[in-house]
Each structure stands twice: as structure tokens, then as C-alpha cells.
Chains A and B, each alone.
Chain A
Amino acid sequence: MRKKKWLPPICLLFLFLGPGLSLAADLRFQSSTQYLWYTDPFKDKDRSDLVQYLKFGVTKVEPTSRVSAVGYGRLSGQFGGETDPRQGDDGILGRLYFLYVNYALPSDHGDVRLGRQYVSIGAGSGTVDGISAELRNLGPVRATVFAGYDVRFTETTDRTRPGNYLAGVSVGGSFLTGNNVDVSYLRKYDEDDVIREMVGVHADQRILDRARAYADLRYDVLHGTYSEFLAGVKLFPFSAPVTFTVEYFASYPTFDADTIYTAFAVTQYREVVGRVDHIVTPRLTMYGVYTRADYDGPTADIGTVGVRATSKQVPGLGLNASMDLRSGYPGDLTGFQASADYAFGKAVLAAGISYDVFQRDSMAEDFSAKKVWGGGSYAFRKNMTARLRVEDTETRQFRNEFQGRASVDLSF
């Protein structure tokens, strides 16, 4: 019997929805039906997908309103011409992003969640089919704990397997004025073997209400070395919202212990970042970033400047633009991105362009790539919007890839 990959998520979705509907609880749905078309880069053939997203929330299930349930997933089917064989026999795929019941603890002391959910602590993050508890407002102490099957998303599906688990705990607190400290631990299993064991340490300190210093460490217990280290300071010395950021980041890439790459020598990556953000007015924000990257020998200089603006003279008009310059290892890039959107009445029009000239490697020649896109939306009703977006990318192989998305979004 052939396995239908999309069936389990749908069954779970209805299992959760059933009790909510029968109790006449407050239900909210969000749906997006999308028709996508794109070029398969390997087959050089046009493909089309029909995708159905559904997100829901159920509240007021019982008198105290402590219990709620939320879910989010999608079904997609490919049709027309030759379909990708990895889609399965029926060509329908399912992906369940989250589906859990939430119990809110009294006095806003936290939440307990049961089901599929996204979990994140300083030592790592992931998606689990399991249980989590987040405790807060217990004096200065906060804590997070979770455990469950490790959900791994692949291109065609998401899956859990017996023996693959993810568990973590985080304990933190504010013990001095303007201070946060957090220690976390994460463990990942594959076929009952520990393949990742991490400790995370975070500390930040507010300084005279004009600066914040922070440090964040991820330590790989299996490899006996740090994995990532970040230290920085944010300064906002003026009454105008100007923020200066200086950061040092170092990374020592380690691998899960289920692969032989876990035992190979790697080198450090380090970078120093300087950044300025300025909210000039509520209608104009600007930023500039300079990064000096060190690949244990070769280096690169990377700069970005950007601006976001809305127009007072033309209400509803918004502009975004940024420019990037990169020089050094492993390649160079000069590019810019710009986009504009204009909202009038129930409609929004938007368009953008992205252009890059790049050299991937000192042995390679210069290439350029250009992407232009345009689209619009129209709200037929307060809870119903149609959207259309088309995009044309001229790739470095001087080939045009045309893709687009037409959708109808509902909420009720």
C-alpha cells in the first residue's frame, strides 16, 4: 500500500478542530489558496503548483479561556506536464508547521503547549512533536523546557521518526538592574544516538539607559569547543533615535555526529560589524553596515546602505532601497535592490528590481543577474483579498526564469 504523505497532517488537523467546533468556541481561520508557476532549473521545464494554506486558532474553549489551540499547515499538488517524481504517486504533499494545544498558566505565569510546535532557546531551535512549558513572571526567574520527536522538514515532506528526539531547557533571569542572564542546554538524537549536544549562555546589560552590551555563546559539548560566539554593544546616546552597533562574531562550524564530517578539521570564521541605524522621521529610516570578515586567512569587506521612506505628498507611497558592496574572499559582489508600493483605496500596487554583478571565485569570470517583479492586491471584502505577483529573473546563464503567484486569501 502506497503511503499518502499528506494524510497524517490533515487527520491531525481535523482531530484538533472537531472538539473546538462542537463546543462553539471562538474559531478564527486564515486561508490562502495559491497558484504558483515556476521553472524547474534541472529540467528547464515549466511547472505549476496549487497550494492551500490553512491556519486556525480556537479560543474560549472553556470558561476560564486558559485553553486554546492553533494550527498551521499546507497541502500542495503539482500538475500539468511532467511532474516531479519525488512528489509521490498522487502528486500531493502535506506540510504541518504547527498544531498544538496551549494552556495558559494563571496570573500570566506562562504557557504549556502540547503538539507540534516551534521551539527556540539560546542553545538551539527546532520543531518538535511533543510538549513545552514556558514559565515567566516568577520573580526575576524565567524558564523554558521542551521535549519531543524532532521534526525534520525536507523539500517534499516533514517527518518524525522513532529514535529522533529534541529536548532542551533554558533558565534565565534578571538579577541586577537592566540585566538578563540565561543558560540553556539542548540535546538532539538520531536513531537513539546523541548527535548534537549544545550549551548556550547569554548575558546582556543595560548601561545608563543609553547603551546595551551583550554576549552570546553556543558551546558544542560533543566536540568540546565553542560553536558560535557573539559580543556586542548597542549605543543610543542621543535623544533622536540613532543607534550605533559594534559586534564581534566568531563561528567554529561543527556538524551533527551522525556524519563523518563531524570528525573533520575546520577553521574559524570571524567578523567585526559596525552598524548605524537612524530613524530620521517616522517617514524616513536609514541604515549603514560595514562588515570585516576573516576566513582564517583570506578576508572580505562588506558594506550595505539602505533607506526606507514613505511620502507625505503622496499618501500610501512607500520606497525601499539598498546597495551592497562586497570585495574579497571568496568572491565579489556589487548590487542594489529597490522596491516601491502604493496603496490606494482597497488596492495595493508594488514593484521592485534587484541587480547584482558578482564574481563567485577568483578563477571565475564576472556575471550579472537581474530580477524584476511586480504585483498588486485588491481587498474585495474586509476578509477577502486577491493577490498577483510576477517575477522575471535573468540568471548568470543569461536565461530568463519567469515565475509567479496568484492567490486568494480569506480570514474569518
Chain B
Amino acid sequence: MKNKILRSILILLPAVTVAVTTYAREDHKAYRELKLPECAECHTGSGIPPNHGGGWQKEHRILAAGPNRNCYDCHDQSTCQDCHKGGGISAKLSGSQWKRDVKPASHRSDWVSIHPIQAPSNPQQCSRCHEPPFCANCHGRLNVTSLTIRDHAKSGSTQAYIAAFPAQHAAEARRNLASCQACHPDGNVCLTCHSAKIGVMVNPHPKDFKAGRIQSRSNNRSCRVCHDF
């Protein structure tokens, strides 16, 4: 028994020693003043690809949230907050703004008009910076007759949902449900057809809907809107 323990220690000790010395996080504080292309001099052949390039805005999420991150060697939390929450103490000359908040470079030219094209591409990307009320703040104040949405085509002077094309409405809603929430934050308009209490009672749930955890963890909160308990 003692031999087994001794053998295990002898095997594990070098592994732990190598791990401690090899995988110590590289401290980048000394390099914080370098220009980005200069970083490639070390990174080439080191097994760490150069980063902070043209695609960094999209790529940084994984590295910044990872266990081996070293963002704080060069940045403080304002780097995160300035983009994610609109701060602007270090606003660059190239940095535009939306009212008081600095806008990231991805929000190109007439972003108010262009964002419906970008929003369905990974719908979760918007919510990394914006809480749901952010969309409703604008959409709730829009003149609805000015919208040009596939399933909300103009009908006289209104922007009513075209009931003649329910399949298209369903497909569009499933692809970008957040866009429904943008104008109908509490979803009351959906209940006209999708409630289990009133109307035509069309089931909106996915086929393999797992209600159990939502019910138990959130105290039936969203379920009670449509169902009696």
C-alpha cells in the first residue's frame, strides 16, 4: 500500500511541477505599450495566434471569458464597459455616438436603418450589450405606418399583421423572436392567438418543449400568463 502511494506521488510530482511552471499565465504588463503588429514577433511560432486583429470584436468573447485571460494586464474594466455599456471617457476620434453613449464600429453608417439586416445573425449578440427594454425604447415610439416588415405589410393606414399568411408569420417569428419582443415587450399581442385561456389557442411551444424546469425555477411566472394553475 505504501509503495502504491509512493509510486503515485513520484508519478504525479513531475506532472504537477511541469504544470505549475509551464502553464503559469504569461504576464503582459511589460508589453502594454507595444503596437499590435509588434506582438506578432513573439506570437509567431509560440502556439498563440496573433489577436486584436480585424475580427477581434467578434473573437474576443471567448478569450475574455476564458480561464486563462490576461486582459487586465493591459486594460481595466472601462475597456469592457465603454463598448458594452456605452461609456466614453477614452472615446477615439473615430468613435461615433448614440445620444450620450459611444457606439461600437460595427454599428455602421445609418445603423438605425441597417440593424434589421444584422439582428437576425446570431440574435443573442445584441443582448450582450442591450437589455430587452433598449429595443422597446425606440420601437415603442415608432410610427408603425413607416415599417417595412415582411409579415407586417401596410394595410391601408395601419401596419397590421396579415392573417392571410400565418405560416410566414410563424417562420419569421421563429427566426428572430427578439424582433417581436422589440415592439411587443410584454407579448400581449401574441396572446390574441397563442393563449391557452382565450382565442384560437394556437400552441406556440416547440415540439420537445421542456416546461418542467422553467415552471419550477421561475415559480410558473411566465406560464401563468397563458395557463391556469
Contact = CB atoms under 8 A, between A and B. Distances in A.
Do the two chains bind?
yes
A395 B111 CA distance: 9
A74 B99 contact: no
Given A32-B88, A120-B80, A253-B124, A287 B55 contact: yes
B11 interface: no
Contact of A376 (B93, B99, B150, B174): B93
Given A98-B81, A222-B213, A339-B94, A361 B149 contact: yes
A100 to B, nearest CB: 9
Interface string A173-205: 111011010101000000001110100101010
Given A136-B25, A257-B217, A341 B67 contact: no
B30 interface: no
Interface in A376-412: 376-377, 387, 389, 391, 393-397, 403, 405, 407, 409
A362 interface: yes
Contacts of B225: 260
B122 to A, nearest CB: 5
A30 interface: yes
A251 B122 contact: yes
Contacts of A93: 100
Contact of A293 (B81, B93, B121): B121
Given A222-B217, A263-B204, A282 B38 contact: yes
Interface of B: 16, 19-20, 22-25, 35, 37-38, 40, 43-50, 53-55, 62, 64-68, 76-78, 80-81, 84-91, 93-97, 99-100, 108-110, 112-114, 116-117, 120-124, 128, 131-134, 137-138, 141, 148-150, 153, 171, 173-175, 177-178, 180-181, 185-187, 190-191, 194, 204-207, 209-211, 213-214, 217-219, 221-223, 225-226
Contacts of B24: 137
Nearest to B213: A222
Contact of B134 (A54, A136, A155): A155
A154 interface: yes
Given A153-B85, A193-B219, A241-B43, 13 more contacts: A70-B77, A76-B100, A125-B128, A178-B47, A209-B47, A257-B218, A259-B181, A259-B222, A287-B55, A330-B120, A348-B93, A364-B148, A393-B110
Contacts of B218: 193-195, 222, 257-258
A53 B89 contact: yes
A214 interface: yes
Interface string A18-37: 00000000000011101010
Contacts of A224: 210, 213
A265 B225 CA distance: 17
B215 to A, nearest CB: 9
Most B CB atoms within 10 A — which of A173, A236, A371?
A: A236
B222 A180 contact: no
A107 to B, nearest CB: 11
Contacts of A240: 44
A137 B25 contact: yes
A160 to B, nearest CB: 13
Interface in A75-103: 76, 93, 95, 97-98
Contacts of B35: 282
A118 to B, nearest CB: 5
B150 A361 contact: yes
A306 interface: yes
A26 B40 CA distance: 34
Nearest to A206: B47
A162 interface: no
Contact of A193 (B62, B207, B217): B217
B148 A360 contact: yes
Contacts of B89: 30-32, 53-55, 72, 74, 409
B97 A259 contact: no
14 contacts: A49-B100, A97-B87, A200-B65, A227-B124, A257-B221, A263-B222, A263-B223, A287-B55, A300-B121, A306-B54, A358-B113, A363-B153, A371-B109, A373-B94
Given A258-B222, A277-B55, A287-B55, A140 B20 contact: yes
A73 to B, nearest CB: 9
A32 B212 CA distance: 50
B63 to A, nearest CB: 9
B213 A221 contact: yes
A45 to B, nearest CB: 13
Contacts of B177: 253, 255, 261, 264, 266
Interface in A320-347: 322, 324, 326, 329-333, 335, 337, 339, 341
B67 A172 contact: yes
B211 to A, nearest CB: 7
Contacts of A200: 65
A165 B195 CA distance: 30
B108 A335 contact: yes
A377 B93 contact: yes
Nearest to B209: A263
A260 B20 contact: no
B222 A253 contact: no
Interface stretch (A1-9, A58-66, A349-357): A349-357
Contacts of B66: 122, 172, 180, 182, 202, 204
Given A51-B100, A297-B171, A367-B113, A212 B121 contact: no
Interface string A268-288: 010100010101011101010
